[in-house]
Structures are given as structure tokens and as C-alpha cells.
Chain A
């Protein structure tokens, strides 16, 4: 287990380095200059040059990259070009909001898709099964900015049950979390269903029936754990999808998270913020994948890590 974790850690560092490098190059290759954007249309050439010098952007790219890596190794990710704070602080400030939103959405999605998938699998081919398929397909295909706006119009403006924007109590969380959850409920439901359909005709399931167990415990105790591995894998991967969706949902619902910060940083070419945001999102992704892999051992006792 120890050596397995060490191996994974080394791999994680490699992935993080790759992410840093790709982002570092990409943000600088796309047209647009942070100094010029900040000075705006009213500044002179000299103002832009002075700002570029202050940001260190007048140095050759390899030199910038070298010193960035050196500083990053010491966990110094530089000052945001626009916000009056270190880039890492700007991102860290907004992580709790995004984490709350993404995890709530994931919890909602899992809670909804397990029963939906089970019902669809058990009653395969029925009207109910088809209804679940249609609903999950729609949830997956409808753009979530549209869904978000519809939710605002229905639940905030017309019914006045929930607030339309901002962060605060539980009532503020409901609309954004549901809009985000709908993005993955479809995928997870279909996975639970197909996983169960695959195992439901296995011998051990028939044996479980034969020894007189009720349908409920056959499914929950015997069939479901074997269908869950792909579901957990995909749920982990979908967390990345959720973060991407959060960018849009956060804007629609004025949710002060990393997604909005990242979009703003990209459109203003705030390089340090973009870099550290992508780095932290990558780190989060690596961590989730590790947890997913470790959970396999729990779900399937045959899997052991060495």
C-alpha cells in the first residue's frame, strides 16, 4: 500500500508539472496582453511597456517559465496581475464555495441516480424504464445555463420560493446545486441501470433469489456492489465535468466560486490566477481519482494495492 501510494504521488507530481507547463504556454500563446488590457485604450505605449516590465512579461519566455517553476516549487505562485492579492489567495478564497456547490451537486446526483437506475433495471423495458431513460437523457442534453435561467424564472420570479442569486443559507444552494446535478444524474442513472442489468442474470443473483431473499436485499446486498465499480469511476470523472459546469452555473446564480474567477482571469489574461486555478483543479482531480481507485478495494475485496 505504501509503495503504491508513493508511486501515485510521483505520478501526481508529473501530471501537475505537465498541467503547469501546458497552461503556462497556452495563456501566453493566445493573443491578448494583460498589460494592454489593464491600461486599456487610453494608455500610451510607454505605460503598457512599464506595466509589462513590472509584471516581468518583457523577459524571454524560457526565463519566465524557469523562474515560475522555481517559485512554484516553493509554493509561491505570484501576485495576481489585477486583484490586489497573491494569486493563490484569490483562488483559495473561492474554493469553499465551489467545493460546497460541486459536492452538493454530486451528493444530489448520486442520491437520485441510484434509486432511478435500480427501478429502471428491475423493471427493464417497462414504461417506467423508458420514462427514466428519457428524463436522464434530457437532463444530460439541456444546456445548464438555460436550465439555470428557467429555474430562476420559475422558482424565484414566479413562485418566489427561492432566492435568485448569491450565496447564503441552504435556500441559496438549492437552485445552483440542482442545475449542476442534472448534468450528471443522466449519466449515473444509465450506468447504474446497465451495471445492474449486466449482473442481474448472473448465477450468484439467481442463487440469492433461490435461497429465499427478498428482491430488495438481492439488489442492495448482492447485485448493486458489483455494479458499482463503473459508477464510482464515472462519478469521480464526472466531478471534473461538474467543475466545468460550475463555471456556467456560478455565473448564472452569482455564486462566488473558482469557476467565475477563472473565466474572469482568462478574459483579462491574469496569467498567475489562471495558472494556479488550473493547478489546484488538477490537484483536486488527481486526489479524487486516487480516492476512487482506493475505494475499489473496499467495493471489491479481490482488489489489493501493493
Chain B
């Protein structure tokens, strides 16, 4: 880690700590920008890196990136996370409070209407949360602590939890609100109605989703009148479409394509650290990874800085913690230097002077440069005498093995969808989660306490300790946090790069 990177991390902590407030957080309506007088005009054509598989943000595919991106345009949530200040701002809820640690009361914005003109009220919030829990979608576990949801009046939602829920606001930012009386109708989510800045005009699966500006939107009107999501799976075709103007914006391109696009005049590239990161787990229940020295040796064997430069070329930064810098709960750790000699010494001390054999599973849909990285890791380990077999498998087979703990090592990427450390740390590293065989009562206590604490400053302290233990125990290897590079044509203005799930409501297009 360079000094500069360390400072970045330190600033992040200071900033977030200063911003985090009392256990009772109060939002104010003034925090969201007053409706501007602009009239939406023109058209923005976007191609997402993955296909839009569904339009139901409460269903079983709710965590898929395209589903979330579309949801943020068609629907509103109670709160939104400001990506700059990392604070939760009012959206459908104008204020919220936690009168006691297991109760949250949200006051809804009045006068909000769905795209069909019907009013949005507390019963819609209740029904949306209940649908998500009923369908047992990917976000249902986030709400496991919820006891009751009720609507004392049309403008108030009260959520009671069995235990304090420290991630309430992060969770609420991912809960899209749909109309209670319509969302259970068959086919509703093929052309859904929300209250968001855009409404659905047409949806042709695998081809195009067309949205248009919602004239009755309560917030700032969107910049463009028409927003089209065009499905172009092949990277070469997507890059060509950007160059020829068939699309205006795309992201998640491989480094070689980015380098070529960097030379194009009509195209701009903006990058921002994302919620996604690569990691390698070692199965702590299997020899020889039961020995911490072996795990540390595996980390010391990797020249991560060189890989950042040569393989990732601007799409990743060296990671400095078990979670990315962008996430709530991040705290920087002491880096493992590239030191093959020390790695060999540690192996010898662990009684493995001649190395060992093991297999590393991964799937070819992991993320950018995954194949190149897997090969690079294997050759670095080979240099310290550890012979790792390439266990590439198709995603369904890989997932099956992963969850059954039927592996020596696992290489994959992961996204902290909620932007909160709880989503990755407690879900993965507690003894009961049993995802890589790690069992530390101290870490269990820290992570469970952090989840059940509403005071965000205290939560930060819990995560700081947990990060340090996980890092020093070398439970995994955390080489890269990915940088999201957005590429767009000249004329696209006002786009704000985000660590995940970009929104395009602020964008205007000049031609």
C-alpha cells in the first residue's frame, strides 16, 4: 500500500465517522434538491453489462445488477444513499426515527403518486416489504429481524424488529415501493408501475427496455425524456455501438477495450472505486489451510501491485481490508508485502518445506480478467513450491461446490450490494455461516453486536476490530477492489459515477 492509498482510507473513516450521527437519525425534506424547472428532453441510450432478466425488484432476481438499476429509475425507496457523503437521504420518507432500538418510524412524503395517478401511502410500503419477504428473494435475509410492519396512518410506517437492526437504512434503500393493490396481479411486473422518475413504455426481453420521464415526478425531473436500455451482450458489438453512437453510455468493459476507447475523441471515461472486490478463500477446515502460517504464506507469495499494473490496468486498486474502501465499516489494515522468501519460511515453519498440492475452484463469470488472474495466482504460488490445480467450473457447478464447502481454495468476486459491511462480514465470516470454515468466537460477537446496534459510530468500531482479526488471521486473500469505469459519448452531461447501480436521472444529452 502506498502512503496515498493509506491516506484515502484514513480520510474515508474520518469523514464517515463525522457524518454518522446519533442513534436517532433525522432526515429532513430540505436535503433532497428542490424540483428544478428543467423539462426533460432528448434520449439517452444505455447498454448494461448484463441482460435485464426481470423488472420485479421484490422478486427472486432482485439482487441482479440490471434489475436494481432499472428499479432505481422506475421505483422509489424510503431513503437513498448519497454516494458522496455516504449518508442516507430522504426519498419517499421525509424523516425517520428510532424511538427505541427495536422500533423504526418512517414519515412518508405526502402527495406522491404512482405512474397511473394513484396515491402512494403507508399500505404500499407495507405490502412491498411483505411481498419481498414472502417470495424469499435475495434481500429477505437482510430483514430477518423484522417482527411486524404496520401503518398507523396513511403517512406513517412503523417497523418493529425482534432485535435491533443496525442496517435498517441500508436495507430500506434497497426496498422498492410498488402499489399494494396491483403488484400481485399476474403480469404486473412485465410492465410495472412505480413512483420513480421514469415510467415503463415498452419491454422487449433480450432487446430493449424503453422508459420515459414521469411528468408527475415529485423530485427533480429527469434530464432526458426517453431512456433506453439496449441489450448488447457481446463486448466488441457494445464497444462498436458506443463508437458509432448506437448507444451513449456503457460500463464494465475489459481493460484492453478501455485502452482502445481512451484514444477515441468522442468518448469519455470516468472511473470510481466500486462495491465489488476479488478475494480468494482457503478452506480452513482442510489441511494445510488449518495452519494460519500456511494461509499467510499464500498471501506473501503474491505480487499484487504488479498484477494491478499489468493485468488490471486501471480497473482495480490494491485492496487494504477484507471489505472495499467504499463500504460502511471499512478500516485500513497493515498490508502484506510481496515476499516469496518469507512465504517459504512460513511454509517451512508450518512443516511444509516442500509445499503442497491443492485445487482452486472458480467460475468463468467471476468478473473482469478472472482467467488471467487465476493463472497469475497459480504461477506465483508455484514459485514458492505450492502446486495449485486450476479448478475452473461452470457457475452452477462452482456454486454447488462452494456452498457444500467441497473445495481447497475458492477464487471469486463479490459485491457489497447494500454498501454496508454487515452484508459481507456477518453473512460470510461467522461460525454459523460456515462459508470457509472460519470459527472465531470473538469475530462472531463483534459482527452480531454490530448488526444489532443502531448507533452507527459504535458499529464502525466493531467492524474495525473484526476487519483486523480477519485480515491478520489471513482467512482469505483480498487482492483487488474493482474500479467501475463508465464510458460515454461527448454530449452526455451530468452523469454521476457511483460505486454500484448507476442512475441516469441526472443525465442530460446534448447533440
Residues of A within 8 A of B (CB): 30-33, 36-44, 47, 50-51, 82-85, 90, 93-94, 148-149, 152-153, 156-157, 160, 163-167, 251-254, 256-257, 260-261, 264, 267-269
Q: Is the CB of A36 within 8 A of B400?
A: yes
Please name all residues of chain B whose beta carbon is closer than 8 Å to the beta carbon of A165 when the two chains form the complex: 230, 232, 234, 237-238, 240-241, 246
Q: Is the CB of A149 within 8 A of B234?
A: yes
Please name all residues of chain B whose beta carbon is closer than 8 Å to the beta carbon of A257 when the two chains form the complex: 206
**Docked CA distance A42–B238 (Å):** 31
Residue of A31, A40, A42, A148 contacting most chain B CB atoms (<10 Å): A42
| Listed A/B pairs (21) with beta-carbon separation below 8 Å | A30-B396, A32-B394, A32-B399, A36-B403, A38-B60, A41-B399, A41-B403, A42-B138, A82-B54, A94-B205, A152-B237, A153-B236, A153-B240, A164-B240, A251-B234, A252-B236, A253-B234, A254-B207, A254-B237, A256-B204, A256-B206
What residue of chain B has the Cβ atom nearest to residue A254's Cβ?
B232
Contact among B56, B138, B396, B402 for A39, CB-based, below 8 A: B138
Residues of B in contact (CB 8 Å), total 44
**Docked CA distance A99–B174 (Å):** 40
Contact among A42, A164, A167, A264 for B241, CB-based, below 8 A: A164
Contacts A164-B237, A260-B206 given; does A44 touch B187 at CB 8 Å: no
Please name all residues of chain B whose beta carbon is closer than 8 Å to the beta carbon of A50 when the two chains form the complex: 136
Known A156-B241, A254-B232; 10 more pairs at CB < 8 Å: A30-B396, A40-B138, A47-B136, A51-B60, A93-B205, A94-B206, A157-B243, A164-B237, A165-B237, A252-B237
Residue of B56, B140, B234 contacting most chain A CB atoms (<10 Å): B234
CB of B442 within 8 A of chain A? no
CB of B252 within 8 A of chain A? no
**Docked CA distance A269–B238 (Å):** 27
**Docked CA distance A187–B413 (Å):** 44
Please name all residues of chain A whose beta carbon is closer than 8 Å to the beta carbon of B208 when the two chains form the complex: 166
Shortest Cβ gap from B364 to chain A (Å): 11
Residues of B within 8 A of A (CB): 51, 53-54, 56, 59-61, 63, 136, 138, 140-141, 187, 189-190, 204-208, 230-234, 236-238, 240-241, 243-244, 246, 394-397, 399-400, 402-403, 414, 423, 427
What residue of chain B has the Cβ atom nearest to residue A48's Cβ?
B403
**Docked CA distance A30–B400 (Å):** 11
What residue of chain A has the Cβ atom nearest to residue B414's Cβ?
A41
**Docked CA distance A21–B442 (Å):** 53
Contacts A41-B403, A43-B138, A252-B234 given; does A33 touch B54 at CB 8 Å: no
Q: Is the CB of A82 within 8 A of B61?
A: yes
**Docked CA distance A205–B161 (Å):** 91
Shortest Cβ gap from B200 to chain A (Å): 14
Please name all residues of chain A whose beta carbon is closer than 8 Å to the beta carbon of B394 when the two chains form the complex: 32, 267
Please name all residues of chain A whose beta carbon is closer than 8 Å to the beta carbon of B204 when the two chains form the complex: 256
Residue of A82, A148, A252, A254 contacting most chain B CB atoms (<10 Å): A254
Contacts A31-B396, A256-B231 given; does A261 touch B206 at CB 8 Å: yes
Please name all residues of chain B whose beta carbon is closer than 8 Å to the beta carbon of A40 when the two chains form the complex: 63, 138, 399
What residue of chain B has the Cβ atom nearest to residue A263's Cβ?
B233
**Docked CA distance A80–B204 (Å):** 17
Q: Is the CB of B61 within 8 A of A38?
A: yes
Please name all residues of chain B whose beta carbon is closer than 8 Å to the beta carbon of A47 when the two chains form the complex: 136, 140-141
Please name all residues of chain B whose beta carbon is closer than 8 Å to the beta carbon of A44 when the two chains form the complex: 141
What residue of chain A has the Cβ atom nearest to residue B54's Cβ?
A84
**Docked CA distance A163–B238 (Å):** 11
**Docked CA distance A47–B54 (Å):** 20
What residue of chain B has the Cβ atom nearest to residue A31's Cβ?
B397
Please name all residues of chain A whose beta carbon is closer than 8 Å to the beta carbon of B403 when the two chains form the complex: 36, 41
Q: Is the CB of A32 within 8 A of B51?
A: no
Please name all residues of chain B whose beta carbon is closer than 8 Å to the beta carbon of A30 when the two chains form the complex: 396-397
Top 4 A-B residue pairs of the complex, sorted by shortest distance between their CB atoms = A32-B396, A256-B206, A164-B240, A256-B207
**Docked CA distance A83–B207 (Å):** 15
Shortest Cβ gap from A43 to chain B (Å): 7
**Docked CA distance A148–B208 (Å):** 21
**Docked CA distance A256–B52 (Å):** 12
Shortest Cβ gap from A169 to chain B (Å): 13
Shortest Cβ gap from A151 to chain B (Å): 10
Q: Is the CB of A164 within 8 A of B207?
A: no
Please name all residues of chain B whose beta carbon is closer than 8 Å to the beta carbon of A51 when the two chains form the complex: 60, 136
Please name all residues of chain A whose beta carbon is closer than 8 Å to the beta carbon of B232 when the two chains form the complex: 164-166, 254
Q: Is the CB of A83 within 8 A of B205?
A: yes
**Docked CA distance A257–B204 (Å):** 11
Please name all residues of chain A whose beta carbon is closer than 8 Å to the beta carbon of B61 when the two chains form the complex: 38, 82
Q: Is the CB of A269 within 8 A of B236?
A: no
